[in-house]
Amino acid sequence: MYPIHRNRRLRTNESIRSLVRETTISPNDFMFPMFVAEGTGVEVPLGSMPGLFRRSLDLTVKEVKELWSLGIKAVNIYVKVNDKLKDNAGKEAWNKDGLMQQTIRAIKDAVPGMIVMPDVALDPYSIHGHDGIVENGLIINDATVDALTRMSVSHAEAGADFVAPSDMMDGRVYAIRKALEESGYHDVGIMSYSAKYASAFYGPFRDALDSAPGFGDKKTYQMDYANRIEAIKEALHDVEEGADIVMVKPGMAYLDIVREVKNAVNVPVAVYQVSGEYAMVKAAAERGWLDHDKIMMEQLYCIKRAGADIISTYFAKEAAIILNK
């Protein structure tokens, strides 16, 4: 009751605001998505993602060392596959000497403590740009799951700490967990993209990897953005199947889903603040419409407040620099 209770007393200055702050973030909360290309000394700017690059393995390792020095302890890895290596089955995905496998080994050799979570999906390897094997214009679930298990085991053999299936095929988490166990990789975790929506926010990412679908869209496997309960069901299924971490993707437009999933599961929840969300902030800031750093930090706090334990974000390095100050 006013004036006995004056809520503004706890907002008087920064010292008291920081003392009673409910949500905090640190570099420990971040994963940094990285794009890897073939070659040496290669650094290709990503036009729709200002400040980011597709780098060759040698420069990727250099950047990983910088990330580690900033306190960032996890990276997501995505590779740009040569078109000559693409087919419908995605066989290059489990090549023990493939670019992804080389990248995992190189990062773990250079920075053993860095948690490496390679992407598990066929779209970078597919001639069709889809996350699964195509037959008669349809994405085939079970044959794709078999390919994803082979891909996951090859990542574990290369030294991955977690595998990160982002494909949204049914039953893939259980199949991957079973394959990892049978291959002796008991300690390799699974971070499942459990609630991955069919979103228009992914456009810049697909430019970065040249992985846009060659026909149709991904709505037969990625989720309808009108749905909420379905996300909870997907997350619970993945936990039952052996997921150690579940992910919601995209981020800012789906914070209601983040909270619902966080309330439903008993494992850490990751959120992917995706390329389109990053690009919008960059574009508005370049035009002077928004204060870049303030918007960036506000969004990261909002994602954490909604229930994220882990934030995969292209802002990780910039945010870590600010937080370390």
Q: Which of 78 and 210 is assigned the larger pLDDT? A: 78
Residue 82 lies in a domain: yes
pLDDT bucket at 116, cuts 50 / 70 / 90: very high
The CATH code of the domain that includes 304 is 3.20.20.70
Give catalytic status of residue 219 as yes or no: no
What are the φ and ψ backbone dihedral angles of 81, each rounded to 5 degrees?
-90, 135
Within a domain: residue 267?
A: yes
CA distance 231 to 225: 10
Could you give the 3-state DSSP secondary structure of residue 108? helix
pLDDT of 208 higher than 80: no
Q: What tokens does 266 get? A: 């008993």
In a domain, 173, yes or no: yes
Q: Is 141 part of any domain?
A: yes
Interval 259-272: pLDDT, tens: 999 999 999 999 99
> Could you tell me the pLDDT band of residue 204, with boundaries at 50, 70 and 90?
confident
Catalytic annotation, pick one of 80, 86, 108, 196? 196
pTM for the complete prediction?
A: 0.95
Mean pLDDT of 131-150: 96
DSSP three-state, residue 195: strand
| Cβ-Cβ contacts under 8 Å for 176 (sequence gap 6 or more) | 120, 148, 149, 152, 163, 165, 190, 242
67 belongs to a structural domain? yes
What pLDDT, in 10s, does the model give residues 244-293? 999 999 999 999 999 999 999 999 999 999 999 999 999 999 999 999 99
Tokens for 298, please give them: 């506000």
Secondary-structure percent of the chain, ordered helix, strand, coil, rounded to 5? 45, 20, 35
Q: Distance between CA 146 and CA 151 in Å, rounded?
A: 9
From residue 244, alpha-carbon distances to 98, 104, 210, 238, 289 in Å are 26, 20, 30, 9, 40
Q: Give the DSSP H/E element, type plus range, for residue 148.
A: helix 141-158
* Averaged pLDDT score across all residues of the chain: 96
Q: Do the annotations mark residue 230 as ligand-binding?
A: no
Range of the domain at 204: 24-324
Report the domain count for the chain. Answer: 1
Radius of gyration of the chain (CA): 20
- Note whether residue 19 is domain-resident: no
6 in a domain, yes or no?
Answer: no
Span 305-309, average pLDDT = 98
Q: What are 197's strand-pairing partners?
A: 223
Report, as an integer, the average pLDDT of 130-142: 95
Residue 211 pLDDT: 66
pLDDT of amino acid 34:
97
Kindly state whether residue 9 falls inside one of the protein's structural domains.
Answer: no
Lowest-confidence pick of 1-15, 93-107, 109-123, 208-222: 208-222
